[in-house]
Amino acid sequence: MEEIKKTLAGLIKVEGMSKEDIYPLLCVPPDPALGDYSLPCFRLAKTLRKSPVAIAEEVAKSITTLPDGISGVSALNGYLNFTLDKKSAAEKVVKKVLKEKNNYGASAEGAGKTVCIDYSSVNIAKPFHIGHLCTTVLGQSLYRIYEKLGYKCVGINHLGDWGTQFGKLIVAFKKWGDEKTLAERGVKFLTEIYVKYHEEAEKEPSLDDEARAWFKKIEDGDEEALRLFGLFKEITLAEVKKIYDRLHVSFDSYNGEAFYNDKMQPVLDELAEKRLLVESDGAKVVDLSAFNMPPCLLVKADGATLYATRDLAAAFYRKNTYDFYKCLYVVAYQQNLHFAQLFKVLELMGKDWAKDMVHVAFGMVSLEDGAMSTRHGKVVLLEDVLNKAVQKSLDIIKQKSPDLEDKEKVAETVGVGAVVFFAQYNNRIKDMVFSYDKVLNFDGETAPYVQYTAARCKSVIRKVGSYDLLKADFDGISDAESAAVVTDLGKFNEVIRSAAEKYEPCYVARYLVELCKDFNRFYLANRIVNEPDGIKYARAALTEAVGTVIEEGLRILGVETPEKM
Ligand code: ARG
């Protein structure tokens, strides 16, 4: 599509303006009946001191021969309108998609640049609840989006594996736990004894002293303390990994908070050297009052470091290790202040790369019945949500396609896909309400709708059998419905680029729904299988191209495409 825009920009000759000046002014008119591209001439009226109507007419007249791919030019109400040759546009795009297959839409603008993406970043011994859904899937999609644009990506699970709570957990485990139950019941068991610890510690404050002592042992590298903590970590990660597999999520690094224990001091030293670290009631802080922010607390009066201290060390580590072009933190908006402080401290330290750090914030998910609370052990586990979505998908599939093979497998793809797609369908900053019926609506703006359309494409191709692209008659896809699909296909790379620029996978999700709607309109308006060969081949080719782009778009979002549905 950009090629066409470039051709048009070169075609339009206006006094005192270059191709480069014209290019950004070209736009797609809202009503395709007016044309496929327009130049709104009122933008030129001032410089040329002529009316837009006169400019449009003069330029239209000056264009005497039309280059390949453009079939008409006209002036209307101060707009210079171009129509594309639908047939040649269709041929071009369809051939390109079929040739490049799942590489279609890729580009190399990111070559040589690295993007670090901190996502999911779960806490050890805590359940994986619905609140982790967005960070996990948005982060992984951004990974695939940047990768598609040629960037090298580093996916980082910044584990929450440090803190006094682990001292408490060891005390609880030694009092009420045993390894057999832990192996059987996993994180659920750890959460239960942790809740029990808090109940008991209210009555028996000496427990907290024990907990502190155990935490100190972890810090000092005591063998038993490390072994128990290692066990909690292993159990948590094994459970979480099962979910990651279902969500098609993976990481290049699991360096969490504990990893930075020995990497904070040099940063604190540099802060002190730069006179940025000030004492406040015995604690060490960076004063941010000049920026309307509370101080960034880095060392407590008792010498303990904090979440922010570790994040600061992690930022340096990432810069030194990966020399990132950008470092993204896909973390809920509740941590807005934390990241604003972190980035500001780096800026005050004179690190020009502070500008390359981005907090990719997102809103909260709640369930229709209002459930969400993470306190008091009452959590909505993501695994339960996935299982229920899969079960409901299976019921729907049994009803809709009783003869389908591998119903369970398809149900897993559809159920999990529905949840994953839902989390990425809206601008990420919005809070959202999860409803099983909505996300599983086969006619809604949902994964099942998109998957169903992809399966329809595959089924058409199966029916057509082998076809010969060389004998395709592209007049068969030059009608308005086909043209809308062709335009969509042509936009794929632009969509991925804007998703990267704004850190919004929802652009890809929304694009896919649009593409499916347009394709289904095409499918309703055009017969395929029983047409003469030339027409049939062209429509089959368009169908296959759509299937390819849907599958690739879904892959980017972490959603699988079933062969049949
Ligand atoms: N573990 C943290 C939490 O659950 C999220 C960590 C995000 N990443 C970071 N580098 N701070 O709240």
Residue 242 has pLDDT above 60, yes or no: yes
Distance CA 17, CA 37 (A): 19
- Confidence band, pLDDT 50/70/90 cuts, at residue 371: low
Please compute the mean of the pLDDT values over residues 505-529 and round it to a whole number: 98
For a pLDDT cut of 70, what percent of the chain falls above it?
98
Homologous superfamily assigned to 2-84: Arginyl tRNA synthetase N-terminal domain (3.30.1360.70)
Please compute the mean of the pLDDT values over residues 192-218 and round it to a whole number: 94
pLDDT of residue 376: 47
Query: How far does residue 330's CA lie from ligand 1's centre (Å)?
Result: 9
Summarised one tens digit per residue, pLDDT across range 158-174 is: 999 999 899 999 999 99
Summarised one tens digit per residue, pLDDT across range 448-504 is: 999 999 999 999 999 999 999 999 999 999 999 999 999 999 999 999 999 999 999
Summarised one tens digit per residue, pLDDT across range 70-89 is: 999 999 999 999 999 999 99
Distance CA 263, CA 271 (A): 14
Q: Where in the chain is the domain with CATH 3.30.1360.70?
A: 2-84
253 Cβ below 6 A of ligand 1: no
Residue 1 has pLDDT above 80, yes or no: no
At residue 353, the 3 state secondary structure works out as helix
- Confidence band, pLDDT 50/70/90 cuts, at residue 377: very low
116 Cβ below 6 A of ligand 1: no
Burial bucket for residue 45 (CB in 10 Å: 0-12, 13-18, 19+): middle
pLDDT of residue 493: 96
- Residue found under tokens 């359940």: 127
Distance CA 311, CA 327 (A): 12
Distance CA 484, CA 478 (A): 10
Residue 31 has pLDDT above 90, yes or no: no
What are the Cα distances from residue 314, in Å, to 88, 263, 275, 321, 344? 52, 8, 21, 10, 15
Please compute the mean of the pLDDT values over residues 407-411 and round it to a whole number: 97
pLDDT of residue 284: 97
> For this structure, is 129 an active site residue?
yes
Residue 118 has pLDDT above 50, yes or no: yes
Length of the chain: 565
H helix or E strand, kind and range, residue 480: helix 480-490
> For this structure, is 158 an active site residue?
no
Query: How far does residue 160's CA lie from ligand 1's centre (Å)?
Result: 7
How many Cβ atoms sit within 10 Å of the Cβ of residue 464? 18
Q: What is the mean pLDDT of the chain?
A: 95
- Confidence band, pLDDT 50/70/90 cuts, at residue 224: very high
Please compute the mean of the pLDDT values over residues 206-230 and round it to a whole number: 94
Residue 417 has pLDDT above 70, yes or no: yes
Residue 28 has pLDDT above 90, yes or no: no
453 Cβ below 6 A of ligand 1: no
pLDDT of residue 63: 94
Q: Give φ, ψ of 356 to 5 degrees.
A: -90, 5
pLDDT of residue 378: 62
Name beta bridge partners: 326: 115
493 Cβ below 6 A of ligand 1: no
pLDDT of residue 556: 98
pLDDT of residue 375: 47
- Residue found under tokens 């090298």: 152
Catalytic residue among 92, 129, 319, 536: 129
pTM recorded for the entire structure: 0.93
Please compute the mean of the pLDDT values over residues 271-284 and round it to a whole number: 96
Please compute the mean of the pLDDT values over residues 545-555 and round it to a whole number: 98
Query: How far does residue 305's CA lie from ligand 1's centre (Å)?
Result: 15
For a pLDDT cut of 90, what percent of the chain falls above it?
91
Query: How far does residue 385's CA lie from ligand 1's centre (Å)?
Result: 22
Q: Write down the H helix ranges in 76-132.
A: 86-100
Please compute the mean of the pLDDT values over residues 359-373 and round it to a whole number: 82
Residue 518 has pLDDT above 50, yes or no: yes
How many Cβ atoms sit within 10 Å of the Cβ of residue 397? 21
118 Cβ below 6 A of ligand 1: yes
Query: How far does residue 189's CA lie from ligand 1's centre (Å)?
Result: 23
The residue to mutate among 124, 158, 255, 296, having the most atoms of ligand 1 within 8 angstroms of its beta carbon, is: 158
